[in-house]
Amino acid sequence: MKAPQPRMLQRATLAAGFALACAGASPTEQSPLSRAHSSLAAGDTAAAVHTLEKAGAHHGDDAQAARLLGHLYRDRGTIQGRLLSQHTLEKACARHPGDLELDVELATTYFEQGFYPDAVRSLRDILAREPERCDARKLLGLYHYRNWKRMNEYSDDLADARRELREALECAPDDADAALRYLVAGYALGDSIERECDHFIERFPDRPEFRLMRGTVAFDHKRYEACAADYAGALERMDAATLAVYTSSLTHVLGAIDDERYQRSTVPARDDFRRGLWLIADPDPTTETNPRLLEHVYRLFVADCLYSNEPTGRHGWATDRGEAFVRFGRPMEIEYVMGDDWRSGKVETWSFVTEGIFHQLVFVDEFLNGNPRIPYDADLTLHFMRHSPASSTLGPDAAEIPAFADAIAFRDDEMTSTVYVAMAVDASALRAVVDVSRLDWFIARAAYFDEAWTREGGFNDSVAAGDAIETETTPGRGAFEWVRALRMPSDRYHIATAFEDAQGLTRAVGRRDVDALRFAHDGLQLSDVLLYRAEAPRPGEAAVERGGARMRPNVERQYGADDRLRAYVEIYDLTLATDGAERTSSYDLRFAIFPSRGKDDPAWVDFGRRAIEWSGFGERDDAAIAQTFRREGRAYNEQESIAIDIDALGDGRYELVVEVKDRRSGDSALVHAPFWKHAGRIARGRH
């Protein structure tokens, strides 16, 4: 390793030396340089500058005084300050040729002014005299890095930046900013940087950027669990403002109008909405890792790496190109040209295919300052970008198999319910991908979330391939089915299911909503409707067990010619009245079948929307089939099994509505269940 030369150490040593040398001298006996250092030690920069100017340091006769004054001028951060720094240091360099410290200070000022040719010439001259000069190496590497960031087109600057920054790190290993730029250059070049990430994470454990970079490399290789661990560690180490961009802001995810509504919402409402948004976008909500959320963090970080503007301190995601990257992902092609007219400057044309639609965005760097933007003349393009919701470019990590998920809720007592979760997986599609006869195991998973999209629980089971039963559900098509019972507090839940082979080559995912909250209320209530098959389940076969019966659910709710629709429903909290020596119940049970209002059964939609959608069935009079029965009983809770002849129905989707009216109290309740009718027969064979 080369000898360390950190500039802050030099300055601290110099200041300490002056303080010790002048400790016993009165202010009038101290040199102007000593008095300036004393003022700086007291935090009075203005007094230090005044002392040096009064002593004529700006003429350059005293090399040390001129170097300090030039540094203080430049630190003002203004154009005038940098010009004063340049003039002072140029005079001093002319009077003291060969003074390396003055040359480095002047090269730094050139660099900060953007006079890159002068800066590069000076830096190369310095390195020719002292090759191990760390600060010069870093500035030269930073020049090439910024030049690449300004153009984003040529890799020569990128390779030069990586080389020079590596040299700088050899003699200044604690420079975290140089290390980060070195990693970004390597990532943009396509180098393997994982081991370097490990090294820098160990050296700079509190800097989140190195964990973000390692997680980004893991994401590129679809190692999502490793990516999630690194991203979580990075988020824990972020400052509040940056953390808010990564975790709370949806500006780059929602369209502009929706984002405005989101920003006006209360904090709890925003939190709930954000959780739901990412869970709905999750390719498999039954797992702890959400690749779509990781993709969002990935895009923010990569956009910041590629498109940030260091001279202005602007983050990459705050630029037009960065916003496009976060919304649409990496473009399939970027074309660079020099434009004219309204496109004067450097023009970048980004081409995307988003959800099968080809579109382009044009960015113009009018002043060649590394911050291209969508021109004001192209306001329609800007409007399109700002009002387009973010889209994912995630590729599936397993073959996606069609499936149907179902969830049926029954009340157990005043506080708890049993929800039977079932899934039917397209057997033909599964067999087209894997040889089922060679598989030993399948994995069945479920996870459930409350109304605020907070995960409440779930299960992860193994299913022996030999125990998987295939049932024909539609002509020529079979399904593998499973059923599990979940005992949970009576509430509303979003439920996700998954089924995959043990090797992870295939995956089927389903989503359902279930409402058991009504069971926690007093008054007449109905369970969900269970549509079940005529065939009794075999011993050991998963089934719904209620009322002393074991029933095989018709998970896909498909019916063919000559099939009867069999439904099971439970009634809770009937009113008992004295009838002679006994207390009895009396109620009317009505079932009706209506043509469906939609083509698909809703899954993972707002519960309020579903309540509105389901209301009013009892008021409709266009039922294709309807019948009412009067029942007498002796219990608060009853159960009903119905077998309905549906031969008269044509092909299509229907809603079975079950309604109960308590004749004692006058209360009524209804539930519904969608199903599909086919003209052909469905053989109920098992394999």
Amino acid at position 84, single letter: L
Residue 541's CB: how many other CB atoms inside 10 A? 15
Least confident of 86-100, 211-225, 234-248: 86-100
In whole angstroms, give the CA distance from residue 649 to residue 561: 9
- Tell me which of 466 and 373 has the higher pLDDT: 373
Least confident of 380-384, 434-438, 570-574, 599-603: 599-603
User: Computed from CA positions of residues 88, 89, 94, 95, in that sequence, does the dihedral angle turn out positive or negative?
Assistant: positive
Backbone angles phi, psi at 622, to 5 degrees: -105, 30
Eight-class DSSP state of 254? S
Confidence of residue 18 (pLDDT cuts 50, 70, 90): very low
In whole angstroms, give the CA distance from residue 331 to residue 299: 12
Least confident of 206-215, 507-516, 572-581: 572-581
- Kindly tell me the burial class for residue 69, based on how many C-beta atoms sit within 10 Å of its own C-beta (0-12, 13-18, 19 or more): buried
Q: What share of the chain is helix, strand, coil (3-state, %, to 5)?
A: 40, 25, 30
* Residue 611 pLDDT: 55
Three-state secondary-structure class, residue 472: strand
In whole angstroms, give the CA distance from residue 60 to residue 92: 4
In whole angstroms, give the CA distance from residue 530 to residue 419: 11
Confidence of residue 9 (pLDDT cuts 50, 70, 90): very low
* Residue 496 pLDDT: 97
Confidence of residue 369 (pLDDT cuts 50, 70, 90): confident
* Residue 439 pLDDT: 86
Q: Which residues, in sequence order, are bridge partners of residue 671? A: 658
The answer to whether residue 466 scores a pLDDT higher than 80 is no
Whole-number percent of the chain with pLDDT over 90: 66
* Residue 28 pLDDT: 54
Interval 326-341 mean pLDDT: 87
Q: Where are the alpha helices (DSSP H) in 282-353?
A: 291-307, 320-328
Confidence of residue 233 (pLDDT cuts 50, 70, 90): very high
Q: At what angle do helices 291-307 and 320-328 cross, to 10 degrees?
A: 160
Eight-class DSSP state of 686? B
The answer to whether residue 238 scores a pLDDT higher than 60 is yes
pLDDT digits (tens, 9 = 90+) for 343-362: 667 888 999 998 888 999 99
Ramachandran quadrant class, 651 (left: phi over 0; alpha: psi -120 to 50; beta: rest): beta
Hunting for tokens 């509430």 — which residue is that? 491
* Residue 199 pLDDT: 96
Structural contact between residues 258 and 270, judged by C-beta atoms closer than 8 angstroms: no
Task: Spell out a b/e string for 296-326, using b for 16 or more CB atoms within 10 Å of the CB, else e.
Answer: bbbbbbbbbbbbbbeeeebbbbbbbbbbbbb
Structural contact between residues 561 and 650, judged by C-beta atoms closer than 8 angstroms: no
pTM for this structure?
Answer: 0.86
* Residue 132 pLDDT: 85
Structural contact between residues 543 and 550, judged by C-beta atoms closer than 8 angstroms: yes
Q: Which residues, in sequence order, are bridge partners of residue 324? A: none
Least confident of 61-70, 331-340, 407-416: 331-340
Structural contact between residues 453 and 475, judged by C-beta atoms closer than 8 angstroms: no
Residue 511, token pair as written in the block: 């989503």
* Residue 366 pLDDT: 82
* Residue 575 pLDDT: 93
Interval 23-41 mean pLDDT: 76
Confidence of residue 283 (pLDDT cuts 50, 70, 90): very high
**All structural domains of the chain:** 7-247 (1.25.40.10), 248-396 (no CATH), 399-677 (2.60.40.10)
pLDDT digits (tens, 9 = 90+) for 644-669: 999 989 999 999 999 999 999 999 99
Q: What is the mean pLDDT of the chain?
A: 88
Three-state secondary-structure class, residue 388: coil
Least confident of 106-110, 557-561, 639-643: 557-561
Confidence of residue 685 (pLDDT cuts 50, 70, 90): very low
In whole angstroms, give the CA distance from residue 58 to residue 15: 20
Confidence of residue 22 (pLDDT cuts 50, 70, 90): very low
In whole angstroms, give the CA distance from residue 617 to residue 485: 29
Ramachandran quadrant class, 218 (left: phi over 0; alpha: psi -120 to 50; beta: rest): alpha
Least confident of 247-251, 467-471, 576-580, 673-677: 467-471
Q: Which helix (H) or strand (E) holds 348?
A: strand 345-354
Of 262, 264, 295, 266, nearest in space to 278 by CA: 295
In whole angstroms, give the CA distance from residue 76 to residue 65: 17
Angle (CA) 10-14-16 rounded to 5° is: 120
In whole angstroms, give the CA distance from residue 613 to residue 608: 9
The answer to whether residue 265 scores a pLDDT higher than 90 is yes
- Please compute, for residue 680, the number of CA atoms within 13 A of its CA located in the half-sphere on the CB side: 9
Backbone angles phi, psi at 551, to 5 degrees: -125, 140
The answer to whether residue 13 scores a pLDDT higher than 50 is no
Amino acid at position 157, single letter: D
pLDDT digits (tens, 9 = 90+) for 186-212: 999 999 999 999 999 999 999 999 999
pLDDT digits (tens, 9 = 90+) for 384-434: 899 999 999 998 889 999 999 999 999 998 899 999 999 999 998 998 999
DSSP one-letter string for 397-419: SSEEPPEEEEEEEEE-SSSEEEE
- Kindly tell me the burial class for residue 45, based on how many C-beta atoms sit within 10 Å of its own C-beta (0-12, 13-18, 19 or more): middle
The length of the chain is: 687
Of 390, 219, 372, nearest in space to 301 by CA: 219
DSSP E strands, 467-624: 470-474, 477-489, 492-501, 506-515, 525-526, 530-532, 544-546, 549-551, 558-559, 564-572, 577-579, 582-595
